[in-house]
Amino acid sequence: MSKKFVQAITAIDEDFAQWYTDVVKKAELVDYSSVKGCMIVRPYGYAIWENIQSYLDKKFKETGHENVYMPMLIPESLLQREKDHVEGFAPEVAWVTHGGNEKLAERLVVRPTSETLFCDHYSKIVQSYNDLPKKYNQWCSVVRWEKTTRPFLRTTEFLWQEGHTVHATAEEAQEETLLMLDTYAKMCEEFLAIPVIKGQKTEKEKFSGAHSTYTIESLMHDGKALQSGTSHNFGTGFAKAFDIKFADKDSEMKYAHQTSWGVTTRLIGAIIMVHGDSSGLVLPPKVAPTQVVIIPIAAHKEGVIEKANELQARLATVARVKCDTSDKTPGWKFSEYEMKGIPVRVEIGPKDIENHQAVLVRRDTREKIVVSLDELEIKVAELLEDIQRHLYEKALAKREAMTYTAKTMDELKENAQNRPGFTKAMWCMNQACEDKIKEEVGFTSRCMPFAQEEISQTCVCCGEKAKTMVYWAKAY
């Protein structure tokens, strides 16, 4: 029965896209809704998001950020205030044209992002250097009209947080931009066990209206890159468009410097595609809603259910633990919790009770470990830490093995065709070359990493003098 359940999903290396769809459905992360491109985030998927929220919200507050809530509707005229911004977003928004039974005098967009609302508000509440900095964040959903969608990765509506800050100086804004990028990077690496490349986006790939955009990029199992979080320095661009000025200490009126930064439910897609396998989801313990599941073996035998419940109570002191005493077979339960990626399974049966032991099974390596019941809490806690570390190390080793270099267009094409992953190659910073690489190779520039290397001295495309190293890849 265990086998049958597992075989219900496509093997990961047979058809990755189908495997992904199978996992999100079978692990009960999402369901499709009756609105095209919008997903229902089911309890198990939402619980993962709540853990991410709770980790980040704490970090945001520790660094002096406050949560607010802005309206979900934006008047067309407000969206149009910043030229680049409206050009970037107008083609992909949902338009509200009627309220109740009446046609609206001015159309409204369902927020695709809230810079314009935050800026409008800041222009009213920021007058003096004493009012600065303002460091606000909002947890909400946004809507972007997408033609092709995939759960978590690209949906018409998605959940996210958007931070928006205002500062007196350019230095402070840049510091904030990088601090938040770092917060995201740490969250990915320490909490989600996903290694990331930190760097700057090219002019072409930066956010509509930003002065500069920074990104963390991660690598999925199939060798495609996923932009996993971005942090933007707006300079004074939005402040000028929205007239956000303040009287500085020297009494001069100055434009404020702004940032914005965000991560989305896309991170759940990253967790699936970095750690998952052909049996389903594999969750890093820190983000797993349930870290340990206890499964009684031969549960009808006297004392087994009682012992399982006793172990649950004991383990609740060190982990988020669940005990499944339902009447499904153990094999069925094994498969179900493997599908859901629960890090540790504890098996307890009559023989185990007799030997004063339990069997621990790791989801990541399938390794079975017999432990004395005297040491249960300590062994489980150690195992969870080890799984968290192992998943990160495995993902990092995999990314390193899938990171290549190229000095010429031929090498770049060769990598694009035969070597899924990142390619590090030099670039002249001319957009014509970036466009040509996208067209001829199929790679987009993921970022100009902070950790630069000199792969060669010339641009991989035009052969002119190189100015920066870029991570190139196919991307989600």
Output 121-127 pairs: Cβ under 8 A, ≥24 positions apart. 121/70, 122/164, 122/166, 122/242, 122/244, 122/256, 122/258, 123/242, 123/243, 123/244, 126/166, 126/244, 126/245, 126/246, 126/256, 127/246, 127/247
Helix axis angle, 266-275 to 43-62, nearest 10°: 110
Q: Binding a second copy by CB under 8 A: which of 9, 41, 263, 384?
A: 41
* Stretch (H or E) spanning 309: helix 304-315
Q: Supply the minimum distance, in Å, between the C-beta of residue 134 and a second copy.
A: 9
The yes or no reply on residue 91 touching a second copy (CB under 8 A) is: yes
* Binds a second copy by CB under 8 A, chosen from 21, 88, 96, 179: 96
Residue 136 or 337: the one with the smaller Cβ distance to a second copy is 136
Tell me, residue by residue from 3 to 32, as one string, x for binding to a second copy by CB under 8 A and - for no binding: ----------------------------x-
Task: For 389-452, list the strands marked E by DSSP.
Answer: 403-405, 422-427, 444-449
Please report whether residue 63 would count as binding a second copy according to CB under 8 A.
Answer: no
Q: Of 6, 12, 56, 70, which one interacts with a second copy (CB under 8 A)? A: 70
DSSP state letters, 340-388: TT-SEEEEE-HHHHHTTEEEEEETTT--EEEEEGGGHHHHHHHHHHHHH
Window of 67-75, 209-217, 330-338, 349-357 that interacts with a second copy by CB under 8 A: 67-75
Please identify which residue in 10, 25, 59, 72 interacts with a second copy, judged by CB under 8 A: 72
Applying CB under 8 A, which of residues 67, 355, 365, 417 lies at the interface with a second copy?
A: 67
DSSP bridge partners of 75: 108
Q: Whole-angstrom Cα distance, residue 27 to residue 151?
A: 13
- Pick between residue 67 and residue 355 the one whose CB is nearest to a second copy: 67
According to CB under 8 A, which one of 11, 73, 179, 396 is a site residue for a second copy?
73
Tell whether residue 94 is a contact of a second copy (CB under 8 A). Answer: yes
What would the two tokens of residue 175 be?
């510091």
**Residue carrying the six token digits 């977003």:** 89
CA angle 57, 261, 184 (to 5 degrees): 60
Residue from 272, 278, 282, 228 nearest 391 by CA: 282
Cα–Cα distances (Å) from 93 to 96, 143, 410, in that order, read 10, 7, 39
Q: Residue 297 Cβ, how far from a second copy at the closest point, in Å?
A: 22
DSSP labels, 267-285: HHHHHHHHH-BTTB----G
- Of residues 1, 125, 369, 370, which one binds a second copy by CB under 8 A? 125
- In eight-state DSSP terms, residue 187 is I
> Is 210 exposed, middle or buried (CB count within 10 Å of its CB: 0-12, 13-18, 19+)?
buried
Closer residue to a second copy (CB): 18 or 326: 326
| Closer CB to a second copy, 11 or 47, in the complex | 47
By CB under 8 A, tell whether 101 contacts a second copy. Answer: yes
Closest to a second copy by CB, 41 or 412? 41
Our finding on whether 145 is near a second copy (CB under 8 A) is: yes
Q: Which stretch binds a second copy (CB under 8 A): 44-52, 183-191, 271-279, 381-389?
A: 44-52
- Name which position in 5, 46, 234, 334 contacts a second copy (CB under 8 A): 46
Residue 140 binding a second copy, by CB under 8 A: yes
Nearer to a second copy, 268 or 371 (CB): 268
Give the DSSP H/E element, type plus range, for residue 125.
helix 115-125
Minimum distance from CB of 331 to a second copy (Å)? 18
Q: Does 121 bind a second copy (CB under 8 A)?
A: yes
Candidates 66-74, 278-286, 378-386, 404-412; binding stretch for a second copy (CB under 8 A): 66-74
- Minimum CB separation of residue 131 from a second copy in Å reads 12
Q: Residues, the chain, total?
A: 476
Binding residues for a second copy, total number by CB under 8 A: 51
What's the order of all strands across the beta sheet hosting 225-235? 66-67, 134-143, 157-167, 257-264, 225-235, 212-219, 197-200, 444-449, 468-473, 422-427, 403-405
Applying CB under 8 A, among 3, 62, 100, 354 the residue interacting with a second copy is 100
**Residue among 24, 27, 108, 371 that touches a second copy (CB under 8 A):** 108
The Cα–Cα gap between 311 and 305 comes to 10
Least distance CB 45 / a second copy (angstroms): 8
User: Phi and psi for 381 in degrees, rounded to 5?
Assistant: -60, -45
Q: From the CB of 93, what's the least distance to a second copy, in Å? A: 7
Q: What are phi and psi of 437, to 5 degrees?
A: -65, -40
Residues engaged in binding a second copy (CB under 8 A): 31, 33-35, 38-43, 46-47, 49-50, 66-75, 78, 91-101, 108, 110, 117, 120-121, 124-125, 136, 140-141, 143, 145, 156-157, 159
